[in-house]
Homo-oligomer: A and B are copies of this chain.
């Protein structure tokens, strides 16, 4: 079975918190991992429904919240207002194409250190950040 690492992480989390290991949770985790990040609750719901038409919206929402708490997923709000989930991994930022919706990840040490300097100037303790560039990707730009 695929995604062994994540499934075990979930199992561990459930056990430690006295929660139950249900097939819904497993199905949703799998669908989420297969989607490879940046999915909306609705996309997830649709994809889960294809094979398991009895699973409800509620369970998708509750499970995604659980996966976030377990450190397997991360919630993200881009400018369109819809919540998306992505697989939790090394911190990075995003290029978002406002035409085709493509999301490209990037990561930049030099920006991060500048950020730290700015925060320090304000005596601000930074816990997380978001940095998104919106525009048109190579395929969508006109020029």
Which residues of A are in contact with B by a Cβ distance under 8 Å?
A: 77, 79, 81, 83, 95, 97-98, 104, 106, 108, 110-111, 114-115, 118-119, 122-138, 141, 143
Contacts and interface: CB of A to CB of B under 8 A. Distances in A.
B119 A126 contact: no
A143 B122 CA distance: 15
B138 A134 contact: no
Contacts of A123: 137-138, 141
A138 B119 CA distance: 10
A124 B140 CA distance: 9
Nearest to A136: B125
Given A79-B130, A81-B77, A130-B131, A137 B111 contact: no
A122 B95 contact: yes
B115 A114 contact: no
